[in-house]
Chains A and B, each alone.
Chain A
Amino acid sequence: MRHQQDPVEPEVAIHWIRITLTSCSLKSLEKECAYLIRGMKEKNLKVKGPLRMPTKTLRITTRKTPCGEGSKTWDQFQTRIHKRLTDLHSPCEIVKKITSVSIEPRVEVEVTTADA
């Protein structure tokens, strides 16, 4: 007979967890993603591999000159935003593992959980 209000005993509640990794730098993002998935696979969790969203390019095209003089030269700047999704189907304790994972500096991590 298990007490339902026993807080010490861990409840094995399976959740869907979606981890979204966003970054402007592709190299650090791929590194981070690989690290995460490798860590998950070592624990034999059901992981759905990195889903690569289409990369968004933000472009700014401006004149090079601060004044209007000179031949009309233009600068084209761009920033690329890459996004990767990883899905997990695992108990909650694994979430703690995510927090202790070392994260690359330029990567933003978002965790979304829902009931199973």
Chain B
Amino acid sequence: MPHRKKKPFIEKKKAVSFHLVHRSQRDPLAADETAPQRVLLPTQKIKEEERRAEQRKYGVFFDDDYDYLQHLKEPSGPSELIPTSAVGAPSRGDGREEPLVTSTSGIKLPSSVFASEFEEDIGLLNKAAPVSGPRLDFDPDIVAALDDDFDFDNPDNLLEDDFILQANKPTEEEEGMEIQKSEAEDDSEWEDVDDEKEGGSDDDRYDPAGSSDEDMSTPGKPLGAVENHFFWEEETKSRFTEYSLTSSVMRRNEQLTLHDERFEKFYEQYDDDEIGALDNAELEGSIQVDSNRLEEVLNDYYKEKAENCVKLNTLEPFEDQDLPVNELDGPEEEEIVTVVLEEAKEKWDCESICSTYSNLYNHPQLIKYQPKPKQIRLSSKTGIPLNFLPKKGLTAKQVERMQMINNSDLPKISTQPRSKSESKEDKRARKQAIKEERKERRVEKKANKLAFKLEKRRQEKELLNLKKNVEGLKL
């Protein structure tokens, strides 16, 4: 390439690179419409090995390209508040753009392009999110109103017509009034829940046994300062005190308290001292053989048995005359003991069972093996199916001839033993002779084969013709 030495566009060693990202929700300028909603975030160009070494320090032993350091958080120990000078940062306007010098010298970019140094704790979106759950910071009368538990008939609960003006008045005047008002409201509310308790301020003689001993403990209830010492004397434990903390934190209105009391009453049934009969419960333990309980049990058993068994002497004689009388006499005096005797069962197998069948109806037969019928193949020579024509056996004449001595029995050189002292010429001569014999024999064989083939074909044709034309002719 001719332009190899051309100066590159950007020298990577001096360059700084950034990612263009959305502004963080915790950035106070996120709400600012004039500020750009995207900021430049400098990229971290830590080398692979360094990053991995850093990760291994914290117990991450993976060796892939992923940056696990981004998920690690610094341990937040006890921190101290130090006033920073960055409080003035969000107040910087749009007009002034102070140049921000980045870590590598020489590059200057306007600061509005970067994220603010100061970040709030709660992001913009999180602030707008609605709060769920029990709101303990609300006034109890507000909560009561929200729960539809508001006593509209109580004259103290009504708002004056100019309540806003009253609320906006300077607080010094209204403090006394407001506290009184809230106390009065507390008292009235206390009355709603607890009818027996007089909302009096100076009632020293409070009877703890009286009203709400078995109620759920409600430490979350707002109290006037006067009623404190009565509350601690109360027995506020219920059956469910140990169960959970959250339910005691929730405010109880009338209906809920009633519900709780009902449940408490209902649960009394399940207290330990009132358990019913233990008919089906299994008991464990040891008992003496001659103890009273066991004897009682045995006596009960005998009584039952005695009732159940039928006494024969209470029976009346059967009035049928046909039956022999003897039958009733014998066993009357004895006690009937039924002994069940099982006879020795005979063991049958299928063969013996089958043999008991009569041969009139049962005709056993050996299962025949039916091989697949073979496909008919035609002889290529004759055109007729193979194995069709009957094979002709040997005739008497042929047998005779076979027994005769013929010239094939004559001694041949190949059958003669080889002499031990054989010269080379003799060997050569012998071998030559053997070869000649073999040659002749081959010729003979060929001639024989041909002759036989022709003869066989001729005979088959003859037979076929006979079969076709002559057989079955009725003369």
Query: Quick one: given A15-B107, A16-B10, are A99 and B16 in contact (CB under 8 Å)?
Result: no
Is B20 positioned at the interface, with any CB of A under 8 Å from its CB?
yes
Q: Mark A87-99, 1 if CB is under 8 A from B, else 0.
A: 1000011011011
The reply to whether A113 and B113 form a contact with Cβ atoms under 8 Å apart is no
Cross-chain contact of B20 among A8, A18, A98 (Cβ < 8 A): A98
- For the complex, give the distance between the alpha carbons of A100 and B98 in Å: 18
When the two chains form their complex, are residues A18 and B40 in contact, meaning their CB atoms are under 8 A apart?
A: no
For A101, list chain B residues within 8 Å (CB).
38
A95-B40, A99-B36 known; A110 and B109 CB under 8 Å?
no
Taken together as a complex, chains A and B put the C-alpha atoms of A110 and B38 apart, in Å, by 12
Task: Report the minimal beta-carbon distance from A19 to chain B, rounded to whole angstroms.
Answer: 8
Identity of the chain A residue whose Cβ is nearest the Cβ of B106 in the assembled complex: A115
Classify chain A's interface size.
20 to 34
What residue in chain B is nearest A89 (Cβ atoms)? B9
Q: Is B19 close to A, CB under 8 A?
A: yes
Do residues A93 and B110 form an inter-chain contact, with CB atoms below 8 A?
Answer: yes
A16-32 contact mask (Cβ, 8 Å, vs B): 1 or 0: 10100000000000000
Q: Is the CB of B15 within 8 A of A87?
A: no
Q: Which of chain A's residues have a CB closer than 8 A to the CB of B110? A: 92-93, 95-96
A-B contact count (CB 8 A): 76
| Shortest CB distance B30–A (Å) | 13
Are B39 and A114 neighbours in the complex by a CB distance under 8 Å?
Answer: no
**Which one of B11, B14, B36, B107 contacts A100 once the chains associate, using CB atoms below 8 Å?**
B36
In the complex, what distance in Å separates the CA atom of A34 from the CA atom of B389? 96
Once bound together, how far apart are the Cα atoms of A92 and B146, in whole Å? 57
Q: Check A114–B15 contact: CB distance below 8 A.
A: yes
Q: In the complex, which residues 1-47 of chain A have their Cβ closer than 8 Å to any Cβ of chain B?
A: 7-8, 10-11, 13, 15-16, 18
> Once the chains bind, are A16 and B113 in contact (CB under 8 Å)?
no
Residues of B within 8 A of A53 (CB): none
Task: Establish whether residues B16 and A112, one from each chain, have CB atoms under 8 Å apart when the complex forms.
Answer: yes
Minimum distance in angstroms from B21 CB to a CB of chain A: 9
Distance A103 CA – B23 CA, assembled complex (angstroms): 13
Residue B208 at the chain A interface, CB threshold 8 Å: no
| With known contacts A103-B20, A110-B18, A110-B43, A95–B9 Cβ distance under 8 A | no
* Interface residue ranges of B29-54 to A (CB < 8 Å): 36-40, 43
- Interface bits B86-130 vs A (CB < 8 Å: 1, else 0): 000000000011110000001111101100000000000000000
B17 within 8 A of A: yes
* B-side contacts of A18, CB under 8 Å: 9-10, 15
- For A111, the chain B residues whose CB sits under 8 A away are 17-20, 40
* Pair B99/A108 contact, Cβ less than 8 Å: no
CB atoms of B19 and A110 under 8 A apart: yes
| Distance between Cα atoms of A115 and B105 in the complex (Å) | 9
Residue among B15, B19, B37, B112 having the largest count of chain A Cβ atoms under 10 Å: B15
Cβ distance A3 to chain B, nearest Cβ, rounded Å: 14
Residues of chain A within 8 A (CB-CB) of B9 are 16, 18, 87
Beyond A7-B99, A8-B96, A111-B18, is A95–B11 a contact (Cβ under 8 Å)? no
Residues of B within 8 Å of A103, CB to CB, are: 20, 38
Question: With a CB–CB cut-off of 8 A, which chain A residues contact B107?
Answer: 15, 113-115
A47 to chain B, nearest CB (A): 13
Please determine whether A109 and B37 come into contact, CB atoms closer than 8 angstroms: no
Interface contact B38-A100, CB-CB below 8 Å = yes
Complex interface: chain B residues within 8 A of A7 (CB) = 96, 98-99
Nearest residue (CB) in A for B14 is A114
In contact, A92 and B109 (Cβ under 8 angstroms): yes
Contact flag A114-B11 (CB < 8 Å), given A96-B36, A96-B113, A99-B113: yes
Give bound CA distance, A11 to B100, whole Å: 12
Chain B hits for A113, CB < 8 A: 15-18, 107, 109
Min CB–CB distance B65 → chain A (angstroms): 14
CA distance A110 to B106 in the complex (A): 20
Q: Which of A's residues lie within 8 Å of B, judged by CB?
A: 7-8, 10-11, 13, 15-16, 18, 87, 92-93, 95-96, 98-101, 103, 108-115
Closest 7 CB pairs of A and B: A112-B17, A109-B20, A114-B15, A99-B36, A99-B38, A100-B36, A114-B10
Residues on B facing A (Cβ under 8 Å): 9-11, 14-20, 36-40, 43, 96-99, 106-110, 112-113
Instruction: Please name 15 further chain A to chain B contacts, defined as beta carbons within 8 Å, in addition to the given A98-B20, A99-B113, A115-B14, sorted by A numbering.
Output: A7-B99, A11-B108, A15-B107, A92-B108, A92-B110, A93-B110, A95-B110, A96-B97, A96-B113, A99-B20, A99-B40, A100-B36, A108-B19, A110-B17, A112-B15
A-B contacts, 6 listed (Cβ < 8 Å): A95-B40, A95-B113, A96-B97, A96-B112, A109-B19, A112-B18
